[in-house]
Every structure is written in structure tokens, then in C-alpha cells.
Structure 1
Amino acid sequence: MGEINDFLSLIDSYIGSSIWFPYVLLGTGLFFTIYLKFPQIRYFRFALRVVSGKYDKADNEGDTNHFQALTTALSGTVGTGNIAGVALAVHIGGPAAVFWMLMTAALGMCTKFVEVTLSHKYREKAEDGSMAGGPMYYMKNKLNMKWLAGIFAFATILSSFGTGSLPQINSISASLNATFGLNEMLVGGVLAVLLGLVIIGGIKRIAAVTSRLVPAMAFIYLVGALAVILYNYDNIIPSFISIFADLFTGSAATGGFLGASIAFAFNKGVGRGLFSNEAGQGSAPIAHAAAKANQPVSEGLVAILEPFIDTIFICTLTALVLLSSGVWTEKLQNKFDYVDMQILAESYTDKTGEGKIMLANHISEVATLPLFNGNLKVVDGVIQNDISIINARSLAEKVVVKRDLIPITEEIKIVNGKPNDTSLSFEGLSLVHSAPLTAEAFTRSYFGKYGQYIVSIGLLLFAFSTAISWSYYGGRAMTYLLGSKSVVYYRIVYVIAFFIASFADTTVIWTLSGITIALMTLPNLFGILMLRKDMKQTVADYWDKFKKDWPDESTPE
């Protein structure tokens, strides 16, 4: 798995995790924000009126109403990115990463307005009678770039696994295993069956489920998060300060956290922000294309609300939970993932300034330390060699080596810092990330240890709803490429992959997710930039028509 992750990381380093990708994403959002004169601010209150159904007409063509389209799209974005993704960003980039997540959302509100409007404008009726839309349709019908539409549709299918299926069930099973001790394969099997029962009904059943699920899960999560933040009220202001204090200097080392550079905070903040709200990725427009709306802009206005709810509201809650509780700097007892673990050739300390710098440079790949090669002597689970182990970007302590839950006494072969025998488990104190970190943070509240149950339940609902929505996105892409009859085969593979990912390696799945996001985002950003004049004229035409249809209504224009 380590070799696979290294290969995927190499690919990702040239696209999603590259230096230029965040600039392209934020740059596009900034361009449209200025070009369209800050629509995410000017139209925000009006968007609330639109989503309430105030301007709906009975003869509008489509499969869902505005609210159902919004909740379906939200169910596709409110998922592991809000719980596990925020924790991963803070773990890697420190508090400053949160700022870049918020910036991505603020600009993403405009990007989503544009992509949803254009996708709705150029949607089609599929051969089965349902409405089919998304970036691939404006690429084909307006740009006349069928080749680009094909690339986007193929990338959407890949991303339905890399974003919507694999990381979602992986986070669910890991969280339920850590909290309730449930077998990961059993969790995956049960949820895979439920997933299949929901998605077989198509967009109408999906919309019916998500329109009830999204408000319920948001309320549960809000109560749990506020219980942590208010319990640690002394840390609320320091938490806000930490988000901005290290913005241009990088996050300093504190506790078990060895520090993070500006580049790490920026890259991971933008990357996790995109994973959370998907603005610019082109996924949400596929759900919104099914909405009943007489004007494409009205659906684009509804989409403005998504990044605000998903990232600015829910992700900020998670960030404040992590920062105010302080768990992101604490070493906790955990079982090490082989991908996250490295055995160093010598012994190091994080108790001195010099030691912290050496270790920080190593995990940031500025100046790497030599890895151990040879045999480790282990007695009653305790390593006898004078070495150090890095796990989850921190120096591990009190490490015990086990096989089948029993501490071993033997010599084990290590090659390039990794054990050859994958049946061994390494356990000890180190930083943790993703869902387990958020779960631990939720225990530092008025609910005590029961707080982790809120994360597990919230993650179950969030991630499961995301998997539901992404099955629809992938199905629409299959419809575009191979026709409606191909969707049933896609759904079968989707459910099987969903099950397998429940017990696969976490880090590999997150790396794969980063690649598939970038493969969707880049063609979509190119397309909407090409249609910038079309977008501006479409908005102008909308307000002209609105003033004629609703002369007594005030407008933000």
C-alpha cells in the first residue's frame, strides 16, 4: 500500500497538490467575483428568497424543486470534508489552513453561482425523460468541445469513487470502529446494501431522502460542536487569533505538533476547502440541473448558499472545536497506519528546539533524516534498538509492537523505514488526524466521552448522504458517455467499491481523492472562463425579465 500511495502522491504532486493548482482555483473565483461585481454578497439575501420557493412557477420543467436541489447538492458536499477533512488540514497546515479554507469558500460562492447557472442553461432531457445537465453539457452544446466534455464526464466517474464513495465509507467505518468497536467490514456491508436501495430510485428518491437528512444532520452536529466550543470558552478568542496570527509566517511548533510552513497551510487549506464545498469542481451543477426553474440564474442564486453553509458555517464549527479543545497538538494512543509511519535510523527528540527543527524539516521534506534498514529487536513488544518512529507527522512515544493483539518477542526486518511483515501492528502515542481527531475533540465538552458518539452519528449521516449524491453525479456522467442503460452497471460497481473501501487504507484513499478532484476541476474552470461573457449577459437578461415578471419586488440590481 505504501508503494501505491507513493505513486499516487507523485501524480497528485503535479496536479491537486501542486503549487499552481490553488492559484488557478482561487484566481478563477476572484476573477468572477470582480467581473460580476461580488454577486455572492449582493445576491445573498435574494438567494434566500429564491430557495424558499417565492418565485417558483407551476409549469417550470425539472425533476426537483429549489430546496431539494440545494439539499441534494449539499448532501454531496457536507461529508467527510467537514469532519475529517478539516481535521486533516489543521493536522498538516496548522490553524492558518482554516483561513485558506474560508477564503476558498468565499470565492467559491461566486464560482458555484457561475458553474450552476451555465450548466442549468445548457441542460438536456435524457432519453429516460429526466433532466440531464452539468459542465459536460455546456462544453458540448455551447463550446462545441465534445472532447473536453468527454474528459470531464470520465473524470466525474472517477471522482464519484475518489470523492463520493471511497473516503466517505472509509471515514464512517473507521469512526464507528473507534467509537463502538464495530467491525469495519460489517459496517461497510450493511451500508452498501442501504446505499443500493436508495440510489436505485434515481434523483427523485435521492432528493426525497436528502431533503430530510441534511437539516437533521446539520442540527445534530451544531449541538455537539457548540457543546465543545462553549465548554472551552476560554480558548474561543485565542482560537480565532491563531487562525490569522501565523497566516504569513507558518504555524509554530506546539505540543506534539512540529509546525507547518505557509505553503503547507495554503495548499492544504485550499485543497480541503475544495474537497469540502466542491466549488469549481463541477459536481453540484449536475444536481442543480434537475431543478424546476424557469431561469438558469435563479438556480445559480440558490447555489451561492452552498459554500456558505458547508464551509463558512459547518467547517468553521469543526475548526473551532479542534482549536478550542487543543487536541490537535496532543499525542494520543492509537494504532499506526503503515503509510503514516516511518522508522528512523537514529534516535531524536522533540523536547528541544534543535530536535523539533530537525523533525519538522524531515516531515516537510526540507532535509530528510536517514531511514532504518535492518532488523529491529523487539522484546515483549518494546523495541530495543536506539531509533525513533515518526507517525502522523509527529514523534511517536511508548511504541508497542503486536501481532494479533499480543506483544511480540522477535526480530523484524525493516526496509526503508517500513516493516516487511504487514501482520504486525505498531501502537503508541502520536498525533492523530482525520475523523479520529475530530471524535477526540468532541469528548472535550459537556457531553464528555459521549461527545464522540455525535461525531460518529454525524459522520455516518454526512458521509452516507454524500455517497448517495455522488452516485447520481457519476450516473449522469455515464448517461452522457454511454446512455441511460449504462447507469445500472455503474451503480453495481459503485456499491461494490463502497463496500471494499470500508476496510482499505485511509491515506491511500485521501490521496486518490485529491487526484480525482483536480481531474474534474481543471476542465470545468477552463470552461466557465471561456463562457465569461455568456455568463454576464445571462445575468443581465435575468434581471431584466425578473423586473417585468415581478414589478413590485425589490432586486439587488
Structure 2
Amino acid sequence: MIQSLNNFLATIDSYIGGSMWFVFALLGTGLFFTIYLGFPQIKYFGHALKILSGKYDKDTDEGDTSHFQALSTALSGTVGTGNIAGVALAVHLGGPAAIFWMVVTAFFGMTTKFVEVTLSHKYREKTADGTMAGGPMYFMKNRLKMPKLAAAFAIFTVISSFGTGSLPQINSISNAMFSTFSIPHWITGAVLAVLLAGVIIGGIKRIAAVTSRLVPAMALIYLAGALLVIIYNYENILPSLSAVFQDVFTGSAASGGFLGAAISFAFTKGVGRGLFSNEAGQGSAPIAHASAKAHEPVSEGMVAILEPFIDTIVICSLTGLVLLSSGVWKEKHENVFQNSDMVVLKDHFNENNQADRTAVAKYFSGDKSLPTFSGEMQVVDGQIQNNVTVFHNRSWAEDIQIFTKTEKGTMPYNGSLRFTKGKWDSQASIIFKGKSLLHSSPLTAIAFTKSFLGEKGKYIVTIGLLLFAFSTAISWSYYGDRAMTFLFGSRSVIWFRVVYVVSFFIASFTDTTIIWTFSGIAIALMTLPNLFGILTLHKEMKTTINDYWNDFDNEFPGQHPSDKPEELIK
């Protein structure tokens, strides 16, 4: 039943967040504003750093947090499992060129963040408890005069706070802690649930205080580990960078266990991962930035320009270079097969036969159909007896062994297994093991062992995943908090926080696959009204920027960043 529901939701998602039109809508919005506003991500980058330092702050500025704390809170919501697992998945699917498209997407996303944060900050409100509340729902209500659209956005924000910030994050943490340190899932969940409650009950000031320390700490630990891998594999740096740019125009050729990827496939996966890594256009970050002390909304919008740069252009790019320079992205490794990533084809396909490799590559890209296996798979002493070919993680599986869990332990399986159209009708007591390509956080963990630290390098990934995912849960609790305030008032927040913490604990030892799927739908439904709103207000955005610079020039003459490209170069 759960699998059927997940398949149903996945079908819905394929028409919204997983569709090409959605990708082009997000990327197109960033491209439009970049041209319309004259490349603000370049013109205002240096000015944004000065604002972040507090150079232009005033004692009369209203808000609950500093610019740096607001940026840290927003970054903690975006710098998460996507920077570790998402990049590895993009490279696994699209090859080196996917990294190029992630960076391009982040470049245009910097402008989208600038616009959505500025407009949201402009129409923020002070709540009954004295704190600031803002986000796209406020400009939808106060400027666009569309209260129903604003309410819908707020509802999907609450849903996404669970689907993005709470449930899958703790599930990722507990799995990583169990695999690395053998800590039971429920213990991880219990300890972190208590810590989470202690942070979020204190509201935005405590959240900002924690994230402003946690984000820099986790970034430094992770980046230090990444640089160790890159330096250790220094001879592969230039070939890796060459592959990133060369494959943009040719597609990624088959290499090792990697079957290759067409140009369009790399584009789709790179853009998709880039967009969901930095959340540009989703409307979540403006909720965090609305709390910042500022007398001009444009100044906080400029601070937001830095967010996709740090999240994607810096952190995601380094993760990508780690994967490429270490070479692990195209190597097969021993692992336990996940049923969702496994498919069995009828007859034998030879990995060393070029015709077979081409046919299988087209099968996985959706360009060719191949006969899948249906029926009973016979297994003797853990070995498959049928004339079939098993694929896991889009690669030929090798050294396959099938085990069964018994009271005496794990033993080679004897018997039959039912398959339908290449997919196994899974049983909890049966385990498939073998060698195949890896993706997501397991792939990044192996890449981090290819340095001076050896096997200890995987601890950096585990600790990084712990800090990244936990900080994401903290930030998304605030997003849900502000959405609940908008919908039901300040008194509803305490009940939201209780449910948020309890579900956080429960998700530490349950399967959250369906939550990830549902989250994708909720994120898309958050994004669409936000894009509609900021595009509708594009003229007001330009007017707001002009007003900002007029006031700025009067107060700080001679410090306006030049619009002239030759001055920018100087």
C-alpha cells in the first residue's frame, strides 16, 4: 500500500517538480531578472559583503537578527544533505557536466534570491509577540491582494517544513550514525530531538544564535576535508575540470561502471540538483531574511545574493571536484542493494560488449526498451541460477550474493524470489549484496577516504551530514513557525513546535521515502506562486532598487558600486 501511494505521488511529481517545464520556469525567472536588472549578482556582490559586515547598519533598524545571523539561518536551511548527497547523485546520473549546470543555475539563482528576499522583506509585518514575520505570503496578501494564494503558499510551507526539514533530515542522520558508529537509530533520534526542542522553543533569536555558529563550523570542517581529498589527488584536478567543461558540449562518455550521459540528461540533473540545493525561487529563504534588522529591504536582498554562491558555487563545486578527482564516481564498490535502485533484465548482457553497453545506456536514459525479467528467480546457496542480468544504481552488478536473515544470523539463501517487470517483490528477510556504482552520501563518503586521512575521512562526511541536516531541521522549523503564525496566529506556534519535534524523533527509525516524494510536490507548489508573485512585481522591484540607491547616494556619497563593466573589472 505504501509503495502504491509513493508511486502515485511520484507520478504527480513528474508533472510538476520533476518536469522540464518547471525547471525552465525556475531557470527562466532567474535569467529574466538577471538581464532586466543588469546582472545584480555581479554589480552588487562586493556591496553585499559590506552590508553583511554591518558597515551601513543603524541603531534604529527594526528586526530580530543581524544580517549575518539571517544569512546563516537561511544557509542552514539550504546547506544540507543536498550538498553531500545531491551532488553525488547529479554526477552519478549526469556525469561531470552536471556540475557545470549546477554552477550556472546558482549564478542565475543569486538574482532570484535577491528579488524574492527584497520583496518579502519590504512587506514584512510585526506580529503580536513583537517578532518580525515575512515571506512571500505577506507580499501576496499585502501587495497582490491575493489572500487565498498567500494561504495556500503558507500551507505548503508548513507541509514542506516536515517533508524537507524534519523527517528526511533525521532519517539521513540516524542512518549515517548507525552505519559509521553503530549507534541505534532511536538513540540518535532521541538525543537530537531534545537538542532540537531546546533550540526552536527559544524562537528566532536562539535559532539565529545557534545557526550563526553552526553553519561556519560545519562549512569549515567539510571544506577542510574536501580540500584534503583534492590535494591528495592533485594530478586529477586539471583532467576533472576539463571533463566538466568538455562534457557540456559532448555529453559524458562511458567510463568504468558509468554508462555515459547525453547532454540533455546532464543538463536536467545538474539544473535540478542546483535549484533544489540553494532553493532559489522556492520562497523559503525570504522567511529567514525577513527577521533581519534593516531599514531598506534591498540591503537584505543583496545579502541574499551570497547564499547560492556559498551553497552551490563553493560547497557543491568542491564536493563535485572531490568526486571527480578521487575517481570513485565511476568505480564499483561493495554494497547492499536497494530494491528501488535494482532492475533485472531478461537474458545475458555483456558489459564488455559495446553494443550491449550502448543498448543498456539507452534503456536507462529512457530511449530504448529492453526485455525485463518476470517470474521466479531460482537461488541456490546465494547464487542466481536464471539467465538474467542484474543492474544496480544504473550499472552492471558484480559478485552478487543473496542472503537471508535467520535467528542464527545471516546465511546464503536457497529458494525462489518473485520478480515482476524487472522489479523484485521485496521481502524484509532477504538481502542482495554485490558490487555496483554508488550514489548520494555513500559515494561521497568513499570519496573522502581517498586522502591523507584514509578510512577516517568518511567520519567527516558523517559529521558533516549530522551538522548539515540538523541545521536544516532547525531552519525549516522556523519557516513552518512563521507560516503557522500567518495562518492561525502566534498561539498556534507552540503546538506546531511540539508536533515538529515528536515527528522528528519518530522519523529517525522509520522509512521516509514517501515523505521525500511528497516533499518534492510541496516544494513545487511553494515555488509556483512565489515565481508568479515576483514576476508580477518586476517593475516594482526595479523602482525599489532605484529608490534604495537614491537614498544611499544622499547618505553615503561616492560609495555607489559602478554599473559600468570596465569599472567592475578594475
Range of TM-score over shorter length: over 0.9
For 2:180, the aligned partner's letter is T
Q: CA–CA distance in 2 between the matches of 1:449 and 1:461? A: 20
Q: Deviations over 1:170-227 (max 9, x none)?
A: 3222322332233333323322222122111111110000011111111111110000
Change (3 A) 1:504 1:358: farther
Counterpart residue number, 2:53 = 52
Question: Is 1:139–1:527's contact at 8 Å kept on the other side of the alignment?
Answer: yes
Query: What's the counterpart of residue 568 of structure 2?
Result: none
| Counterpart among 403, 411, 414 of residue 416 in structure 2 | 411
Which secondary structure state, in structure 1, belongs to the residue aligned with residue 344 of structure 2? strand
Structure 2 distance, partners of 1:402, 1:441, is 28
Q: How does 1:270-281 map to 2 (within 5 A)?
A: 270-281=271-282
Please tell me whether residue 444 in structure 1 is matched to residue 450 in structure 2. yes
* Aligned residue in 2 for 1:511: 517
- Partner Cα separation in structure 2 for residue 507 and residue 394 of structure 1: 22
CA contact 2:484–2:493 (8 Å) conserved in 1:
yes
Match of 1:470 among 472, 476, 494: 476
Identify the residue that residue 537 of structure 1 maps to in structure 2: 543
Q: Does 1:551 align with 2:557?
A: yes
Map of 1:265 onto structure 2? 266
Distance verdict in 2 for CA 1:503–1:370, change over 3 Å: farther
Partner AA of 2:233 in structure 1: N
One of 477, 480, 492 as aligned partner of 2:498 = 492
Partner SS, residue 64 of structure 1: coil
Instruction: Return closer, same or farther for 1:183/1:452 CA change in 2, 3 Å cut-off.
Output: same
**Structure 1: runs of 5+ lacking an equivalent:** none
- C-alpha distance in 2 between matches for 1:395 and 1:500: 36
Task: Give the whole-Å Cα distance in 2 for the aligned partners of 1:39 and 1:438.
Answer: 34
For residue 160 of structure 1, report the CA deviation from its aligned partner: 1.4
For the residue of structure 2 that corresponds to 1:471, the secondary structure is: helix
The whole-number CA distance in structure 1 between the counterparts of 2:51 and 2:561 is 12
3-state DSSP of counterpart to 1:421: coil
Q: What's the offset of the Cα at 1:507?
A: 5.4
Structure-to-structure mapping, 1:134-533, within 5 angstroms: 134-404=135-405, 405-416=410-421, 417-505=423-511, 508-533=514-539
Moved more, 176-185 or 502-511: 502-511
Q: Distance in 2 between the 1:453 and 1:539 partners?
A: 46
Per-residue deviation, 1:517? 2.2
Q: Is the 8 A contact 1:15 1:515 kept in 2?
A: yes
**1:278–1:284 Cα contact (<8 Å) kept:** yes
Alignment of 1:4-19 (within 5 A): 4-19=5-20
* Matched residue SS, 2:38: coil
Contact 1:65 1:292 in 2 (8 A): yes
Alignment check: 8 A CA contact 2:166 2:504 kept: yes
Kindly state the Cα deviation for residue 419 of structure 1 after the two structures are TM-superposed: 2.6
Q: Which is further off, 496-505 or 150-159? A: 496-505
Using structure 1 for the length normalisation, give the TM-score.
0.97
CA displacement, residues 399-425 of structure 1 (integer Å, 9 cap, x when unaligned) = 111222322222222333213423311
Distance in 2 between residues matched to 1:258 and 1:115, nearest whole Å: 39
| Matched pairs, number | 557
Matches within 5 A, 1:86-125: 86-125=87-126
- 1:205 maps to a residue whose letter is R
Is the contact between residue 159 and residue 519 of structure 2 (CA under 8 Å) also seen in structure 1?
no
8 Å contact kept, 1:163–1:516:
no
Q: Which moved more, 1:511-520 or 1:335-344?
A: 511-520
The answer for the alignment partner of 2:81 in structure 1 is 80
Deviation digits for residues 282-337 of structure 1, max 9, x if unmatched?
A: 11100000011010011011101101111000000000000111111111111111
Q: CA separation in 2, counterparts of 1:396 and 1:406?
A: 20
Between the aligned partners of 1:281 and 1:258, the Cα distance in structure 2 is: 33
Residue 554 to residue 367, structure 1, CA distance change in 2 (3 Å): closer
> What TM-score does the superposition give when structure 2 sets the normalisation length?
0.94
Matches within 5 A, 1:16-31: 16-31=17-32
Report how far residue 82 of structure 1 moved: 0.7
In structure 2, the gaps of 5 or more residues are 564-570
Shift, 1:509, TM fit: 4.7
Q: Please identify, of 401-410 and 200-209, the stretch whose mean Cα deviation from structure 2 is larger.
A: 401-410
C-alpha deviation, 1:428, in angstroms: 1.0
Q: 411-420 vs 199-208, which deviates more?
A: 411-420
Q: How far apart are 1:356 and its partner, in Å?
A: 1.2
Task: Measure, in 1, the Cα distance between the counterparts of 2:345 and 2:562.
Answer: 60
1:478-522 Cα deviation digits (max 9, x unpaired): 111122222222222322332343344475554334323211111
Q: Secondary structure at the match of 1:394?
A: coil
Name the SS of the counterpart of 1:395 in structure 2.
coil
Distance 1:501 1:253, change over 3 A: farther
Aligned mates of 2:281, 2:26 — CA distance in 1: 7
Residues 410-466 of structure 1: CA deviation (Å, up to 9, x unaligned)? 222233321342331111111111111100000001111111001111111111101
- CA distance in 1: counterparts of 2:385 and 2:180, whole angstroms: 32
1:386, CA displacement in angstroms? 1.7
The aligned amino acid for 2:399 is K
Give the drift of 1:232.
0.6
Partners of 1:175 and 1:436 within 8 A in 2: no
What secondary structure, in the 3-state scheme, does the structure 2 residue paired with 1:377 have? strand
Would the alpha carbon gap of residues 339 and 509 (structure 1) be closer, same or farther in structure 2, given more than 3 Å must change? farther
CA distance in 2, matches of 1:239, 1:259: 16
Residue in structure 2 matched with residue 63 of structure 1 by the alignment: 64
Alpha-carbon RMSD: 1.6
Relative distance call for 1:519 and 1:40 in structure 2 (3 A) is same
Letter in structure 2 aligned against 1:475: D
Is contact 1:46–1:556 with CA below 8 Å preserved after alignment?
no
Distance 1:215 1:549 in 2: 32
Letter in structure 2 aligned against 1:193: V
The DSSP-based 3-state class of the residue aligned with 2:259 is: coil
Between the aligned partners of 1:497 and 1:360, the Cα distance in structure 2 is 40
Q: Which moved more, 1:391-400 or 1:114-123?
A: 391-400
* Kept after mapping to 2: 8 A contact 1:250/1:261: yes
Using a 3 Å threshold, how does the CA distance of structure 1 residues 42 and 552 change in structure 2: closer, same or farther? closer
Q: CA deviation digits over 1:333-354, x for unaligned, max 9?
A: 1111121112223222222211
Query: For residue 436 of structure 2, what is the amino acid of its counterpart?
Result: S
Residues 43 and 561 of structure 2 are in contact (CA less than 8 Å); yes or no, is this contact kept in structure 1? no
**Percent identity (aligned):** 64
Change (3 A) 1:188 1:556: farther
Question: Could you tell me how far 1:128 is from its partner in structure 2?
Answer: 1.7
Contact in 1 for aligned 2:552/2:560 (Cα 8 Å)? no
Aligned partners of 1:474 and 1:504: how far apart in 2?
22
Contact map agreement 2:167 2:504 (CA 8 A) in 1: yes
- 418-427 or 304-313: bigger deviation: 418-427
What is the CA deviation profile of residues 343-384 of structure 1, one whole-angstrom value per residue up to 9, with x for unaligned ones?
A: 223222222211112221222222232332222222222222
